[in-house]
Amino acid sequence: MNYLNWDMQFMLGLAAAASVRVGNELGAGHPMVAKFSVVVVTTTSVVISVVFSAIVLILKVELSKLFTRDSEVIKAVSHLTPLLAISVFLNGIQPILSGVAIGSGWQGVVAYVNLATYYVIGLPIGCVLGFKTRLAVEGIWWGMVIGVLLQTITLLIMTARTNWEAEVAKAGERLKNSANVAALHPVDNI
C-alpha cells in the first residue's frame, strides 16, 4: 500500500496540474490547446503508470523485503503484487482524467461517476468476493480494482467524446456569470 500511496501522490499532483491547465485554456478560449493538454497529460500518465507497474512486478520480492524478513509475509505480498500493479496502473490514469473533468467544470458529474462506479458497484463486489468467497483480501482488492476500472473507462469515454469548442463556450458563460455575481456583491468579495 505504501507503493500505491507514493504513486497516488505523484498522480494527484499531475491531476491538479491537468485541472488547472485545462481550466485555464478553456477560460482563455483555446479549445485545441485544452485538447492537446489532455492528450499530453494522459499519455504521460499512461507511460509513467506502465513504468511504475513494471517496477512493482519486476521487484515484487525485493520490495516486500524492504518491510519484512518473514518468508510467509513475503510470499503473501508476492501473491498480491499483480493486483498492486493493476492498481498502480489504473490509479495513475483515473486521477488524471478526474483532473481533466474538474478543470472542464464537470465536478458534479465526476462526483456521481465516482460514487456510482466505486461505492455502488466496486465496493459491494469487493465485499461479496472478500467475504462470501475464498478470495478474502484478494477479493476485496478485486472489488476496488473493478470500481477504479469502471471510473477510468467512464471518464475516458467522457473525455474522448468532449466537444472542446462547446466547453470553451460553457467556460465563457461560467466566467460571465461569476463576474455578474461578483459585481452584484462587491463587499462580499473583499
Return d(Cα 20, Cα 11) in angstroms, integer.
14
Return d(Cα 34, Cα 126) in angstroms, integer.
36
Determine, yes or no, domain membership for 59: yes
In terms of residue numbers, what domain contains 101? 2-161
Determine, yes or no, domain membership for 171: no
Determine, yes or no, domain membership for 178: no
Instruction: Mark out the alpha helices in the chain (DSSP H runs).
Output: 2-27, 31-58, 60-65, 71-103, 107-114, 123-131, 137-160, 164-184
For 40, list phi and psi in degrees, rounded to 5.
Answer: -65, -50
**Using one digit for the tens of pLDDT, what is the confidence trace for 19-67?**
999 999 999 999 999 999 999 999 999 999 999 999 999 998 888 888 8
Determine, yes or no, domain membership for 168: no
Determine, yes or no, domain membership for 147: yes
190 grid coordinates: 473583499
C-alpha distances in angstroms, 70 versus 73, 82, 139? 5, 20, 23
Q: What is the mean pLDDT of the chain?
A: 91
The amino acid at 135:
L
Measured from the Cβ of residue 75, the count of other Cβ atoms closer than 10 Å reads 11
Model confidence band, residue 184 (pLDDT cutoffs 50, 70, 90): low
Q: Please indicate, yes or no, whether the overall pTM of this predicted structure exceeds 0.75.
A: yes
Return d(Cα 14, Cα 92) in angstroms, integer.
9
**Using one digit for the tens of pLDDT, what is the confidence trace for 116-166?**
999 999 999 999 999 999 999 999 999 999 999 999 999 999 999 999 999
Q: Integer distance in angstroms from the first to the last C-alpha of the chain?
A: 44
Number of structural domains, the chain? 1
> If DSSP codes are grouped into helix, strand and coil, which group holds residue 87?
helix
pLDDT in the model for residue 148 = 96
Determine, yes or no, domain membership for 23: yes
Q: Angle, to 10 degrees, between the axis of helix 137-160 and the axis of helix 71-103?
A: 20
